[in-house]
A and B are shown apart, each in its own frame.
Chain A
Amino acid sequence: MIPHERSLVDKWKDRPFALLGVNSDKTSTDKGMALYKEKQKEMGVTWRSFRNEGNTPNISDDWRVRGWPTLYYIDHEGVIKHKNIRGEAEMETVLEEMIEAAEAAAKK
């Protein structure tokens, strides 16, 4: 999961794409933060994440997340286009289409 995500971030780094996380590792606590930093280095997590906890309600409650990981595909206008596509090949196809649409819109 994480290596594939990192490859997407690298692949599209010059195009209108962002991977954003909502992280549930309790980084508001010292213990959670220490673990996060250690794992972040080890696994090569290069993208930004919201803290899930400490928001009222938790972001995952607001978004009715029932299982982890959960993925939402949001287009350049902020509209939800897909949910929970997990297969790597399909993820890339769908995102490529969305990125092209974002680029086309930016040219207008």
Chain B
Amino acid sequence: MLRYALAAALLLSIPAGVVAQSDVTTGSQQDPQAAYQVLSKSYAKAMSAWQDELEATIMKAKEAGERVPRSAYAPPSGDFVSTAQEHAKEYAGTDAAVPFLGFILKNATRERNAVKWAVKTLASEHVDSKAIGDVVDYLPKVSRMAGRSARSLLSDVADNHSNKTVRVKALLARARQNGAADKAEEAVADLELVTELTTDADLLAEAKEALAEVQKLAVGTPAPEIDGVDVDGVNFKLSDYRGKVVLLDFWGFW
């Protein structure tokens, strides 16, 4: 959880080069893009403050020999998800709502209801829009919180969207999801379709990278090298055992 939260914070801290606005109020007649930037920036700020605070709390607990309270690990996503939801309602039915729905998918950590609502709204109001191409990448991330609905929305866009680029983006997202779940065949089929549908160099490069990732651990491919240390701290490599059959077992006593 922490890792995702930190990754999100890092992503968002990249300067967007957009008009800075100090007004964080919602519901005003702001331009939606500016409103999105305000939300993103204030979220990035809150995440970085939370991260600093968490580090301090951990240090303090360590010194005192106490446990870190569980609540300290909860990133401050709730308020921002609510704000995104308000904006999405404000721009309901238009493409301007889509980035806010995407924000919810991308940043929600335990706001299950908001995620379910966002997926439902995307599916019912934006499934044919081009704008949905920019948020399909976040759908695999919420498949636990949103259940089957996120999966079926992703598949709907991947299989049926009229815009080829949007379809390709959804196919890439679905292929990565299937690849991570060890469904190599399905992932490869999607990636092959990508190469038929697009000539865009960036998207093709993404497909190539995803294909390498999917095939990396497939049966019939060379095992990736492991160069590490044993439990006593002595260096060794998986390839030291070439010539022998190796049963590699990921395990622990716990």
From A103, which residue of chain B is reached at the shortest CB distance?
A: B245
Partner of B251, one of A21, A28, A51: A21
Q: How far is the CA of A57 from the CA of B35 in the complex (A)?
A: 37
B interface residue count range (under 10 / 10 to 19 / 20 to 34 / 35 or more): 35 or more
Q: How far is the CA of A28 from the CA of B254 in the complex (A)?
A: 14
Instruction: Tell me the interface secondary structure of chain A in the complex.
Output: mixed
Partner of A74, one of B181, B232, B236, B246: B246
Structural contact, B243 and A102, CB atoms closer than 8 A: yes
Within 8 A of B (CB), among A12-70: 16-25, 27-28, 33, 35-36, 39, 43, 48-52, 54-55, 59-60, 62-66, 68-70
From B249, which residue of chain A is reached at the shortest CB distance?
A: A21
Name which of B76-84, B159-167, B217-225 contacts chain A.
B217-225
A interface residue count range (under 10 / 10 to 19 / 20 to 34 / 35 or more): 35 or more
Instruction: Tell me the interface secondary structure of chain B in the complex.
Output: loop
Q: How far is the CA of A82 from the CA of B221 in the complex (A)?
A: 10
From A62, which residue of chain B is reached at the shortest CB distance?
A: B224
Partner of A36, one of B229, B244, B253: B253
> Does residue A79 face the partner (Cβ distance < 8 Å to B)?
yes
Q: How far is the CA of A27 from the CA of B181 in the complex (A)?
A: 28
Q: Which residues does chain B contribute within 8 Å of A81, judged by CB atoms? A: 219-220
Whole-angstrom distance from the CB of B99 to the nearest CB of chain A?
Answer: 30
Structural contact, A51 and B249, CB atoms closer than 8 A: no
> Does residue A107 face the partner (Cβ distance < 8 Å to B)?
no
Structural contact, B228 and A20, CB atoms closer than 8 A: no
Q: Which residues does chain A contribute within 8 Å of B239, judged by CB atoms? A: 78
Structural contact, A18 and B241, CB atoms closer than 8 A: yes
Given contacts A16-B243, A50-B229, A71-B247, contact A78 B223 (CB under 8 A): yes
Partner of A79, one of B180, B223, B251: B223
> Does residue B252 face the partner (Cβ distance < 8 Å to A)?
yes
> Does residue A88 face the partner (Cβ distance < 8 Å to B)?
no
Structural contact, A76 and B242, CB atoms closer than 8 A: yes
> Does residue B226 face the partner (Cβ distance < 8 Å to A)?
yes
From A76, which residue of chain B is reached at the shortest CB distance?
A: B243
Structural contact, A83 and B231, CB atoms closer than 8 A: no
Given contacts A16-B243, A20-B241, A55-B228, contact A79 B220 (CB under 8 A): yes
A36-B253, A43-B253, A50-B230 known; 20 new pairs, CB 8 Å cut-off, are A17-B247, A19-B247, A20-B238, A22-B226, A22-B249, A49-B251, A50-B236, A51-B230, A55-B228, A64-B217, A66-B181, A68-B251, A68-B252, A69-B249, A73-B246, A76-B242, A78-B223, A78-B239, A80-B223, A102-B244
On B, residues with C-beta under 8 Å from A are 180-182, 217-224, 226, 228-233, 236, 238-239, 241-254
**What are 18 of the A-B contact pairs (CB < 8 Å)?**
A17-B246, A21-B248, A24-B250, A25-B252, A28-B233, A49-B230, A51-B233, A55-B226, A64-B180, A70-B249, A71-B247, A72-B248, A76-B244, A80-B218, A80-B221, A80-B222, A83-B217, A106-B243
